[in-house]
């Protein structure tokens, strides 16, 4: 067949088709290139991340929070291993039988975790996610219940029409990890298919409410929310680890070789200046003082006067930082429960919860009252306005700029020396001194002693004075304001400010910055940082400070602070009773002291907030202070130097009667002035109470045990409170017991107020009961 030649028309048609194809392919190529550029360059990272996230499970592993130790390395806050329970909503949403299973989770797993059904449903509803936490910081005991639940069988899909379901005891998963079908074709698995557990940590406070208001607590995310836990959160918080695991399209983990583990780094630890033993002394007496005074609260601080280190800090009532949302005070809890309206009840609960977390030792403000008179006297002596020969006659009141201000002794104290004025807590005497100084010189020392600024203690929410609100501005302080400030009224301060100021007198005039963290340690226990004592400034000379120390010792020996006396301890102090300006109601009774007066080591402030009944510091704050101070001095091996009278009243050590005959022992003991009681019918001493070397009061009772004696015999402790010392001695002796007296032997009108073993307790005969006594004479300071 002959070929036809292309005509010019054919050639034009071919060229047109070539051009058309070129345009089509050009446009297609352009779209292809543009798409590749868009994917690779414009949105490359976004799409890569999506692909990576679809292939990897990145699980955070919580880091252990650093521990908190007392000064002797006793742990008071630690982190312990826990679990984090989560649900995989994406996987769960693909289960045909999910609604029935979700109800089972609400009915059975939620109660185990202590969460609501609403939370379970809410977390399961995020079907786009593979990981939603149901609860973290789950303790190991609860985790055992959780794992038992996770290993239980569940029906993923019900296939109707099958035979009655039987599994024959076979595993729910086959050797390849796939779901095994039941005999009736129902699909089985375990709850572990969509309920998972990851490692977590939980904060643990082994000593419960110990130093709770100081320590604070952590929240659900192991973040400090209050106290030291919040202030030092950065130091305590570690660096989380990670587990990055490859997963397949079914959202199951692949082989272990596709897993990368990055270990968490624990946080740093804190070593406090707090001493567990001293803290317990403070807490025990403070709690009892708050109960005895029927007070709203009580606060106490013990400080090393030379360094500013806080040895103990406590508030009563307190709470358990491990269960910080629970109201710890039973009386408060009962009041809240009695509120009928639910909204009002919940508001009261939240207010009570916030109140129990507050650290009143640094946040509470009140008028210092007569404790401040020590500052007035120190300032006047330093300025040379008065000297130790100063005298003043108190008539019961004084008039300044037309305003009459009364003394607490309305009939007047009469003519007094400077020391007597402080001992008697005489308001007109202090006002007279303040007027002699004038506003400018008074304010100079008001500032120097730290009443216009925070102390700088390493704790959150420390009170910071505001001019015109908490304290007077110097420019607006007139003669009347000067008069009221001179005896500690018309301005506010916090307990830590007051203790720091008085400690400056005890420390030779050096004002120290208080602190509670001594060291920061890394995970290996190496010291990262150590706090050095900081002298803020010299406020008065050492000579002036020494004079005031001596005067304050007289306040305790013979003045309003006599109930803060410790035999042999040479305690110096000052009582205070004042109103709360900002609260608008109530009083604060306080006692600030240090010992020994001639070589001070420790200082202490006890403040009783809104007491009912007795309200004076000398009545209700000084007695518990004496108990604590005696324990602290003995614990710190600070020598107690007894006077002859004290030694006579205290008695001595029980003599050793072992290996003696009963006749010889009785002759020896009676010759030394002791009473004797024999238990048994033998002739030889086998045992005695008090044991040799133990303390025994003058004329005390010694029990001698012989052959045939019943060593299990006990006697009942009688009530030895609210009676005279002679009556207490007689009552104890009649019960076959000894008593150890503690208090001011130089005082008059002494009455017992507390005993170391409660009435009704059963104890061996001859047991020594420590009986604290107080004076009701000359202790009023307002």
Is 22 contained in some domain?
no
More reliable by pLDDT, 525 or 729: 525
Is 489 contained in some domain?
yes
Quick one: 553 and 657 in the same domain?
no
Quick one: 587 and 509 in the same domain?
yes
Q: CA-CA distance, 143 to 86, in Å (whole number)?
A: 12
Looking only at Cα atoms, what is the longest distance across the chain? 160
pLDDT, mean of residues 731-744: 88
Token couple for 376? 């007035």
pLDDT of residue 50: 42
- Domain C-terminal end among 641, 662, 689: 641
Quick one: 655 and 770 in the same domain?
yes
Reference 92, options 115, 71, 120; nearest CA is 120
Q: How many domains does the chain have?
A: 3
Quick one: 100 and 203 in the same domain?
yes
Quick one: 652 and 635 in the same domain?
no
Q: Give pLDDT tens digits for 157-186.
A: 655 544 333 333 344 444 454 444 444 445
Does the pLDDT at position 145 exceed 80?
Answer: yes
Considering the entire predicted model, what is its pTM? 0.85
Q: Give pLDDT tens digits for 571-605.
A: 999 999 998 776 667 899 999 999 999 999 999 99
Does the pLDDT at position 462 exceed 60?
Answer: yes
pLDDT of residue 170: 42
pLDDT of residue 179: 46
Q: Give pLDDT tens digits for 384-437.
A: 999 999 999 999 999 999 999 999 999 999 999 999 999 999 999 999 999 999
pLDDT of residue 12: 59
Quick one: 664 and 617 in the same domain?
no
Q: CA-CA distance, 757 to 702, in Å (whole number)?
A: 19
Is 707 contained in some domain?
yes
Token couple for 317? 């009532």
Given a contact cutoff of 8 angstroms between Cβ atoms, the answer to whether 109 and 146 are in contact is yes
CATH code, domain with 76:
3.90.1310.10
pLDDT of residue 167: 38
- Domain C-terminal end among 619, 641, 663: 641
Is 558 contained in some domain?
yes
Quick one: 659 and 746 in the same domain?
yes
Q: CA-CA distance, 194 to 131, in Å (whole number)?
A: 10
pLDDT, mean of residues 73-97: 89
Token couple for 516? 């509670």
Token couple for 663? 């006749």
pLDDT of residue 248: 56
CATH code, domain with 720:
3.30.10.20
Rounded to 5, what percent of the chain is helix, strand, coil? 35, 25, 40
pLDDT of residue 24: 52
Q: Give pLDDT tens digits for 200-250.
A: 899 999 999 999 999 999 998 889 999 999 999 999 999 988 878 776 544
Quick one: 629 and 658 in the same domain?
no
CA 532 to chain centre: 23
CATH code, domain with 413:
3.40.710.10
Quick one: 102 and 177 in the same domain?
yes
Is 343 contained in some domain?
no
List residues bridging with 752 in a β-sheet.
Answer: 773
pLDDT of residue 647: 83
Residue 17 pLDDT class (50, 70, 90 cuts): low
Quick one: 67 and 117 in the same domain?
yes
- Domain C-terminal end among 235, 254, 269: 269
Is 615 contained in some domain?
yes
Quick one: 544 and 486 in the same domain?
yes
| Boundaries of domain holding 131 | 59-269
Is 668 contained in some domain?
yes
Is 321 contained in some domain?
no
Quick one: 102 and 207 in the same domain?
yes
Own/partner contacts of 637-643, CB < 8 Å, gap of 24 or more, are: 638/569, 638/595, 638/596, 638/601, 639/568, 640/566, 640/567, 640/568, 640/569, 641/568, 641/570, 641/596, 642/567, 642/568, 643/568
pLDDT, mean of residues 737-752: 82
Q: CA-CA distance, 195 to 193, in Å (whole number)?
A: 6
Token couple for 140? 């190991």
Does the pLDDT at position 502 exceed 90?
Answer: yes
User: What dihedral do alpha carbons 463, 467, 469, 472 form, nearest 10°?
Assistant: 120
């Amino acid at each position: 067949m002959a070929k036809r030649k292309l005509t010019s028309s054919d050639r034009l048609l071919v060229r047109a088709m070539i051009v058309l194809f070129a345009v089509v392919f050009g446009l297609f190529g352009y779209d292809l290139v543009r798409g590749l550029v868009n994917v690779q360059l414009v949105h490359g990272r976004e799409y890569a991340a999506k692909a990576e996230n679809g292939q990897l499970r990145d699980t955070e592993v919580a880091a252990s929070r650093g521990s908190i130790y007392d000064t002797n390395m006793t742990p008071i806050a630690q982190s312990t291993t826990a679990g984090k329970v989560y649900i995989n909503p994406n996987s769960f949403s693909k289960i045909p039988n999910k609604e029935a299973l979700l109800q089972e989770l609400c009915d059975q797993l939620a109660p185990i975790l202590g969460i609501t059904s609403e939370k379970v449903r809410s977390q399961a509803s995020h079907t786009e996610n593979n990981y939603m936490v149901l609860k973290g910081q789950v303790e190991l005991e609860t985790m055992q219940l959780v794992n038992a639940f996770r290993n239980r069988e569940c029906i993923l899909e019900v296939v109707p029409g099958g035979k009655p379901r039987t599994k024959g005891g076979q595993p729910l998963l086959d050797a390849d990890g796939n779901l095994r079908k039941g005999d009736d074709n129902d699909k089985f698995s375990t709850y572990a298919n969509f309920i998972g557990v990851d490692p977590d940590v939980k904060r643990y406070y082994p000593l419960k409410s110990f130093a709770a208001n100081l320590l604070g607590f952590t929240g659900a995310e192991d973040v400090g929310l209050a106290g030291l836990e919040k202030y030092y959160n950065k130091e305590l918080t570690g660096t989380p680890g990670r587990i990055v695991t490859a997963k397949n399209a079914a959202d199951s983990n692949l082989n272990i070789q596709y897993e990368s583990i990055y270990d968490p780094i624990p946080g740093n630890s804190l070593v406090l200046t707090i001493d567990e033993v001293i803290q317990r002394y403070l807490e025990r007496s403070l709690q009892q003082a708050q109960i005895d005074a029927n007070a709203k609260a009580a606060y106490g601080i013990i400080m090393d006067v030379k360094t500013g280190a806080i040895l103990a800090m406590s508030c009563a009532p307190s709470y358990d930082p491990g269960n910080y949302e629970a109201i710890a005070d039973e009386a408060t809890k009962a009041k809240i429960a009695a509120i009928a309206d639910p909204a009002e009840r919940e508001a009261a609960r939240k207010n009570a919860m916030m109140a129990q977390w507050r650290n009143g030792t640094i946040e509470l403000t009140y008028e210092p009252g007569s404790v401040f008179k020590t500052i007035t006297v120190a300032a006047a002596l330093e300025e040379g306005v008065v000297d130790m020969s100063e005298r003043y006659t108190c008539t019961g009141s004084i008039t300044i700029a037309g305003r009459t201000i009364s003394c607490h002794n309305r009939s007047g104290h009469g003519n007094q020396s400077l020391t007597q004025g402080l001992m008697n807590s005489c308001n007109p005497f202090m006002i007279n001194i303040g007027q002699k100084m004038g506003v400018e010189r008074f304010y100079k020392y008001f500032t120097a002693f730290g009443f216009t600024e925070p102390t700088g203690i390493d704790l959150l929410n420390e009170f910071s004075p505001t001019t015109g609100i908490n304290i007077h501005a110097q420019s607006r302080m007139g003669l009347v304001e000067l008069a009221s400030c001179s005896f500690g009224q018309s301005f506010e301060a916090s307990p830590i400010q007051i203790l720091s100021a008085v400690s400056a007198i005890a420390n030779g005039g050096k004002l120290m910055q208080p602190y509670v963290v001594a060291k920061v340690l890394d995970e290996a226990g190496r010291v990262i940082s150590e706090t050095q004592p900081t002298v803020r400034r010299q406020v008065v000379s050492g000579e002036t400070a020494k004079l005031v120390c001596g005067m304050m010792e007289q306040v305790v020996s013979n003045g309003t602070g006599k109930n803060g006396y410790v035999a042999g301890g040479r305690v110096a102090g000052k009582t205070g009773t004042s109103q709360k300006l900002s609260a608008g109601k109530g009083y604060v009774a306080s006692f600030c002291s240090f010992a020994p007066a001639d070589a001070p080591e420790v200082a202490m402030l006890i403040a009783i907030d809104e007491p009912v009944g007795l309200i004076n510091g000398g009545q209700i704050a000084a007695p518990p202070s004496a108990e604590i101070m005696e324990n602290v001095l003995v614990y710190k091996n600070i020598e107690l130097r007894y006077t002859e009278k004290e030694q006579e009243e205290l008695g001595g050590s029980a003599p050793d009667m072992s290996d003696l005959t009963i006749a010889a022992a009785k002759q020896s003991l009676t010759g030394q002035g002791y009473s004797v009681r024999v238990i048994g019918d033998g002739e030889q001493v086998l045992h005695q109470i008090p044991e040799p070397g133990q303390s025994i009061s003058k004329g005390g009772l010694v029990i001698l045990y012989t052959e045939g004696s019943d060593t299990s015999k006990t006697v009942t402790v009688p009530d030895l409170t609210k009676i005279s010392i002679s009556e207490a001695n007689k009552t104890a002796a009649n019960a076959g017991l000894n008593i150890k007296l503690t208090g001011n032997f130089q005082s008059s009108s002494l009455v017992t107020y507390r005993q170391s073993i409660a009435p009704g307790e059963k104890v061996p005969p001859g047991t020594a009961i420590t009986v604290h006594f107080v004076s009701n004479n000359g202790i009023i300071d307002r």
